[in-house]
Amino acid sequence: MRRHLPLTGIVLLAAILRLGGLGSRSLWLDEGAEYDAVHGSLGHLLERVVNRESTPPLSYLYEWASTKVIGTSEFALRLPFALLGIALVAVMYLTAREPAGRRAGLIAAALAGNESLATKGPVPLVAPCNKGDRPLSCIVRKRGLARLLHRATGGTGP
């Protein structure tokens, strides 16, 4: 059980960083356009995405479904992607741990979880995955970080 404490702490830190103040700011321009796309029917969403958006439709479908459950407040519109960001911490741990060991997994999780550290890093791979990022590019970027950590630790296993 104690073995999981560091990862649990990192996940909790990520949750605090992502959820704290999530609904305190008004919607930005791109978020307003997103609200316009997801607040109506599924047909309205699909018409909007096909005719006006360049973002892959899966993220809009995910957001549309969540608004039907939790509403369309500033907090509700940001929550689904914040939850994905929190889940990314555990995914990064598992992705880096497999090839490079537990320490590399914890480092990768900490970088994925701490947005303020991630945005100040000199390597573009550690930039945080934001709501507007395409999920696949986000995962590829984080997988690249895991490979760098693997090399940095001498390629040692778990």
Structural domain contains residue 143: yes
The pLDDT tens digits of the residues spanning 118-143 come to 433 333 334 445 555 545 445 555 56
Of residues 27 and 40, more confidently modeled: 40
Q: How confident is the model at residue 27 (pLDDT cuts 50, 70, 90)?
A: confident
Number of domains, the chain:
2
Of residues 4 and 106, more confidently modeled: 106
Whether 32 has a pLDDT exceeding 70, the answer reads: yes
Of residues 147 and 49, more confidently modeled: 49
Whole-angstrom distance, CA of residue 45 vs CA of residue 34? 10
Task: Say whether both 138 and 98 belong to one domain.
Answer: yes
Average model confidence (pLDDT) for the chain? 75
Structural domain contains residue 146: yes
Give the rounded percent of residues in the chain with a pLDDT score beyond 70.
Answer: 71
Task: Say whether both 64 and 88 belong to one domain.
Answer: no
CA within 13 Å, CB half, 137: 11
Task: Say whether both 50 and 125 belong to one domain.
Answer: no
Mean pLDDT of 53-60: 76
Q: Of 87, 135, 138, whose CA–CA distance to 113 is shortest?
A: 87
Domain residues for 65? 24-72
CA within 13 Å, CB half, 94: 7
Do 66 and 76 meet the contact criterion of CB atoms below 8 Å apart? yes
Range 74-84 burial, b when 16+ CB lie within 10 A, else e: bbbbbbbbbeb
Task: Say whether both 88 and 16 belong to one domain.
Answer: yes
Task: Say whether both 18 and 89 belong to one domain.
Answer: yes
Do 127 and 118 meet the contact criterion of CB atoms below 8 Å apart? yes
Task: Say whether both 101 and 154 belong to one domain.
Answer: yes
Which amino acid, 67?
T
Task: Say whether both 90 and 150 belong to one domain.
Answer: yes
Task: Say whether both 14 and 48 belong to one domain.
Answer: no
Task: Say whether both 11 and 88 belong to one domain.
Answer: yes
